[in-house]
Structure 1
Amino acid sequence: METFIESPNFKRFHSYVKFFCVIGCAAQLLNATGNYLAFKVRNEVSFKYPDCIELPEIDISLPLASVLNISRLYERYPKQMAEVCSYLHEDDDQFDASKITADSYPILCSWVLKNARQSSNRIAEFITVKDIEELSFDARTQIHGLWIQHDNDNNVLNKYCSLKRFFSSNSFHIRISCLNNSKPLQIEAQNLFASGTSFISVGNMINAKYGFKLSSFNSNIEPNPIYYTTIPYREDGLVFSIIQYRKIVTSLLEYPYETNCIDYDRDSALADCINNRLLAMKPPSLYHAAVFPFGKYSGALPFINDQSKALPVYKACYETFRLPQCQKVEYETKQEILTDEVSQSYSVLVIQASKFPGTIYSSKSHQIFSEYIIFVGSILSMWFGVSIIDRLTISMVTGIKIYRQKVTPQTDTQVNTSPETEPAAE
């Protein structure tokens, strides 16, 4: 057997085996390493019943025309406001734009307020920051009551919540933030569902149709009215809006994983980028699709109207902030509207947490480093075993033969006796 192992044929066969093993092992290692370095992810969907219900931030959006003093706005822009009125009354054959005055504007141009959203889009073409800040009334004063479960304090609005006002080119925004020691207000889920009552109720006398939206803590205010739930307005009537919401969380992985997200508020960063570039241009202007706080910008600033100048700015900022954000919290809402006749117009928002679980969309690493090490170890051990299988086979055969030789009994040698050696007979 030693002669066979040392023979050229066996050595040639053994070299073929080693070459095959090296190629196979290297190919599998490269494939495993390539898959790991691709940093692929697997997407998971989970549902979770929270222990505590967190109150989101409450955003209210009104058409800008509904909070502006349109008579005084007409005094500043008679030609433009007359065009807005004529545009909304173009189907009225009896309308005479020459009769419009500052005092008669609310009467002759009643459609400016009735179609507040449409007229707001037209007014945005020429209005400035100064006009909005000077000619709009503070709609926060129309929010008269706020009630939170398990707290009968009449001063709850000042105790927990703050109301801040913002504006965009065509909307007036109010954000209601309720905090307890700088954290979002929370109530234990068991207490909330056991009582069957609402989390929070907001009473207001807003005399216009408005939008309602729930937002995550410290998030950017959404400027687009399409993302708001519409709350109707009824003269001399009560509008009772029951809102149910549930939380939806999206969690992605940062670079180098294929989701390639960034830990930031993308909407806010994108709006800041566009706005800062527009302010640096000559003449400066504000981004029409962004929300701004009162008292921050120069009153002379208009909103961008020249799309030929704005388009390159939009493209540059979208390219800069094209990556998604890693953590995003959204709220899905369902509403039921009830109405009743009362002596004056009043609206109540009743916000209830949904009894259905929250949804979590998360991205997990397809293969973690420890799994990769184990996989590499299994590949190496497998191919090492293949590479020595020929020697193991020969060693086993040799061992079996030696063992058989030891246990097989030797045949007794027969001894021949010659006559000469026999003893003589006495």
Structure 2
Amino acid sequence: MILFLKSTLAVSIRAICIAIFAWQFYLLTQNYQEFNVRKEVTHYIPDEIEFPEIRIKIPYQFALDPVILQTKYKSQFDEVCSDLSTKKECNGHLTYPLIFSKSFGPYLRLSDIDDHSYAPEMFMARIFTAGPKVDPLKTGECKLISEASSSCLVLILRCLDSSSLPLKLSRVDAVVNNANHLFGFPLKAKAMLLNLVYPGKAAVEDDSLYVYSSLTPGKQVTHGIHFTKHTENLLPSPHKTMCKDYNRRQTFEDCLNSNSSDQTGLLFPGTTVSLEKYKQTNEIRFNAMFRKDNGTLCEIYKRCRSLVTQPMCSSVQYSFKMSKTIEDVAKGEEKLIFHFSVSSEPDSLTESKPEFPLSDYIILSGSLISTWFGISIIGQLLVASDLFCLAVERKKTAVSENQNEAVEPEVINQ
């Protein structure tokens, strides 16, 4: 009876312990599989500042050879001008350059934009940088690229090193040698919109960051720009940030243009495209935003938007402030000058990190298993220590007994 009771009690204890272990292990695993993340924000002042990609939008009426406007597109040009002018005079392209450009741009074919737009070097002849007086446009470290949008010619200044990473400028050189100016350039444009992006990491919403400037007759306008860089690194699936390693903006615009050209024969308004890619495609041009029959475009937008709901695993945005200084100059010498300066505000890095990483899960799982089924490592070491000491004591005892046995015969013989 006692043997049966003892056996039953042992089985019950084992069953209860296994049940408690299973419940605790389930809670531990469930907590790990939630894949929660925490964000850590680091503010820092970099010794070397990366050269951002500068995108400048120039309205087409100021970016194209006027001959093409006066001949091939004269009727459309005059129509838009008269609609914008209250005096029925064709001066709308000067009074409302951005509104005019949005109305007139969709008439232009990409082949004409490519053939008749001014060369990029005519807008930006050179770049001044801190430190060595070497123009990165001459060395090939910086390149000017022209692309097209539905309203403006997009001039892209992209500066990369030999590893295809953004060119870095020394903060020390800027502070010591160039009055805090990292780089600068004169721009020969009557009106423009400017934005800063990181190559390959631009977000879809970057268009909201454009700033506007225009020339005034008899004036030289100098802009001082202070910018800071904000980097965000997220974790991919299965973590809750669910980021994706892709160029979100390029994927979005490629989807818009592919579907729009297939269904309407025109490119999607508001996107930016390479002239080389589309200029030979049946004299293609952009669709107009203001058309009433834009239901197809809305459906395309919704469909493509659903493809880019996941954030990028690594994204960069710039925040910047632009000040303006105006000086009197002789007629015909008007120009825009841009100075990009060292900012006193720190850059920021936001990193997502798992709240419950795999290493912690493995350690806690091992501890849990050891608690219920394993043997304490400390306990084993203590037992080994006791056994070692016991063996040493027994050995000493045996040696002393042998010595006593050897001494006793000698005493007897004497």
In the superposition, the TM-score normalised over structure 2's length comes to: 0.78
Structure showing greater radius of gyration is: 1
Supply the distance in 2 between the matched residues of 1:77 and 1:61 (Cα, whole angstroms): 21
Written as runs of structure 1 = structure 2, the 5 A alignment for 1:68-87 is: 68=64, 72-73=68-69, 75-77=71-73, 80-87=76-83
Q: Which residue of 2 aligns with 1:105?
A: none
Match of 2:260 among 275, 278, 281: 278
Maintained 8 Å contact 1:221/1:291: no
How many angstroms apart in 1 are the aligned matches of 2:71 and 2:206? 29
CA contact (8 A) 1:140 1:174 kept: no
Within the candidate set 219, 226, 233, 1:251 is matched to 233
Identify the residue that residue 157 of structure 1 maps to in structure 2: 137
Structure 1 residues 383 and 193, CA gap change in structure 2 (3 angstroms): farther
1:7-22 alignment runs, 5 A limit: 8=5, 14-22=10-18
**Alignment partner of 2:61 out of 54, 62, 65:** 65
Q: In the alignment, what sits opposite 2:199?
A: 217
Identify the residue that residue 372 of structure 1 maps to in structure 2: 361
Query: Is the Cα–Cα contact under 8 Å of residues 200 and 247 in structure 2 kept in the other structure?
Result: no
Match of 2:334 in 1: 345
Give the distance between the partners of 2:277 and 2:373, measured in 1 at CA: 71
Amino acid at match of 2:29: T
Task: Give the aligned residue type for 2:323.
Answer: E
2:185 to 202, 224, 231: 202
CA distance in 2, matches of 1:38, 1:231: 49
C-alpha separation between the residues in 2 aligned to 1:326 and 1:183? 17
Tell me by how many angstroms 1:221 deviates. 9.7
Note if contact 2:130-2:173 (Cα within 8 Å) is conserved in structure 1: no
Cα displacement string for residues 206-256 of structure 1 (whole angstroms, at most 9, x for unaligned residues): 222x12222213556989753212234222112111111111111111122
Q: Which of 285, 294, 297 is the equivalent residue of 1:302? A: 285
Aligned residue number for residue 358 of structure 1:
347
Deviation of residue 74 (structure 1)?
A: 5.8
Correspondence for 1:146: 127
Q: Distance in 2 between matches of 1:40 and 1:361?
A: 16
2-structure distance, mates of 1:135, 1:223: 30
What is the number of equivalent residue pairs in this alignment? 363
Secondary structure of the structure 2 residue equivalent to 1:202: strand
- Tell me whether 1:331 sits opposite 2:322 in the alignment: no
Match of residue 422 from structure 1? none
- Is the Cα contact below 8 Å between 2:68 and 2:116 reproduced in 1? yes
CA contact (8 A) 2:107 2:286 kept: yes
Q: Secondary structure at the match of 1:254?
A: coil
Conservation of the 8 A alpha-carbon contact between 2:234 and 2:352: yes
- Report if aligned partners of 2:49, 2:169 keep a CA contact under 8 Å in 1: yes
Q: Which residue of 1 aligns with 2:379?
A: none
How far apart are the structure 1 equivalents of 2:221 and 2:36? 50
Deviations 1:22-61 (A, max 9, x none): 2222111111112212222211111222232221122211
| Contact 1:124/1:169 (8 A) holds in 2 | yes
- Mark the runs of 5 or more structure 2 residues left unpaired by the alignment: 375-414
CA spacing shift, 1:40–1:226, aligned 2, 3 Å: closer
1:266 corresponds to: 248
Residues 1:222 and 1:258: Cα distance change in structure 2 (over 3 Å): closer
What corresponds to 2:380 in structure 1? none
Q: Which structure has more helix as a fraction of its residues?
A: 2
Q: Which residue of 2 aligns with 1:168?
A: 149
Of the three residues 292, 303, 307, the one matched with 1:316 is 303
CA-atom RMSD in angstroms: 2.8
Find the aligned partners of 1:70 and 1:191 in 2 and give their Cα distance: 42
Paired residues of 2:124 and 2:185 also in contact (CA < 8 A): yes
Aligned equivalent of 2:43, options 20, 42, 47: 47
Structure 1's unaligned 5+ residue stretches are 96-107, 386-426
SS at match of 2:317: strand
Q: Contact 2:202 / 2:248 at 8 angstroms: preserved in 1?
A: no
**Distance 1:221-1:233 versus aligned 2 partners, 3 A rule:** farther
SS of 1:199's partner is strand
Q: CA deviation at 1:14?
A: 4.8
Distance 1:223 1:140, change over 3 A: farther
State the identity %.
Answer: 25
**Residue 308 and residue 333 in structure 1: after superposition, are their counterparts in 2 closer, same or farther (change >3 A)?**
same
The residue number in structure 1 matching 2:23 is: 27
Query: Partners in 1 of 2:256 and 2:91 — Cα distance?
Result: 35
Cα offset, 1:268, TM superposition:
0.4
CA distance in structure 1 between the aligned counterparts of 2:33 and 2:206, rounded to whole angstroms:
40
Alpha-carbon contact 2:202-2:316 (below 8 Å) kept: no
* Residue of structure 1 aligned with 2:33, choices 34, 37, 41: 37
Q: How many Å separate the matches in 2 of 1:186 and 1:353?
A: 13
Calculate the TM-score normalised by the size of structure 1: 0.76
Q: Does 1:114 align with 2:95?
A: yes
Matched, 1:227 2:209: yes
Distance 2:199 2:308 in 1: 21
8 Å CA contact retained: 1:73, 1:135:
no
Q: CA deviation at 1:12?
A: 5.2
From 98, 108, 116, the equivalent of 1:127 is 108
What is the alpha-carbon distance in structure 2 between the residues aligned to residue 222 and residue 168 of structure 1?
15
In 1, distance between residues paired with 2:14 and 2:337? Answer: 81
Are the aligned partners of 1:64 and 1:116 in contact in 2 as well (CA < 8 Å)? Answer: no
Give me the whole-angstrom Cα distance separating, in 2, the residues matched to 1:222 and 1:164: 20
Tell me, yes or no, if the aligned pair for 2:226 and 2:340 is still in contact at 8 Å.
yes
Look up the SS of the partner of 1:47 in the other structure: strand
